Amino acid sequence: MHATSEIQISAFLENTPGVVARLCDELAEAGINIRAMTVLDTVDVGTMRMVVNDIEKAKTALTAAGAAYIEVPVLSVLLPNEPGAFARVARTLAANNINIEYFYTTAANGSDYTLAIFRVSDAETAKDLDFQWEHAPVE
């Protein structure tokens, strides 16, 4: 199993009630599916990191909504929803001297796989690594 190169949008938001809902509504109205998302907060500003199904439509929708954003290269890895799956990825990256800058993932109870999003120090090398799943899903 290999990682896939993706572009993450990091939108910068005012840290007030309703802002995330408004941006998610804008994206939904533009037909954008948010495949992965995390929202981080500071005192005044939040950062909404997301991987979407159509980056160009998402950028258009965010611009129309007045949201500032940047594009960030990340990797996605489909992980088995089992103990040790993340450890295998982390070990493989570490063995290749690649640092994990951040990641986010989640899985629903009973699901077989989870989509993990990684920002790493060397995405070019990391995307070609084999994470060696015994029962790899169909890509």
Q: Quote the pTM value.
A: 0.84
Let me know if residue 51 belongs to a domain: yes
Pick the closest to residue 135 from 92, 85, 101, 96 (CA basis): 85
By C-alpha distance, which of 50, 61, 78, 77 is closest to 23?
A: 61
State how far the Cα of 46 lies from the Cα of 19, in Å rounded to an integer: 10
Please write the tens of the pLDDT for every residue from 23-64. 999 999 999 999 999 998 877 788 999 999 999 999 999 999
Co-location of 17 and 69 in the same domain: yes
What pLDDT is recorded for position 43?
74
Domain shared by 115 and 80, yes or no: yes
pLDDT digits (tens, 9 = 90+) for 93-110: 999 999 999 999 988 888
Q: Are residues 85 and 68 in the same domain?
A: no
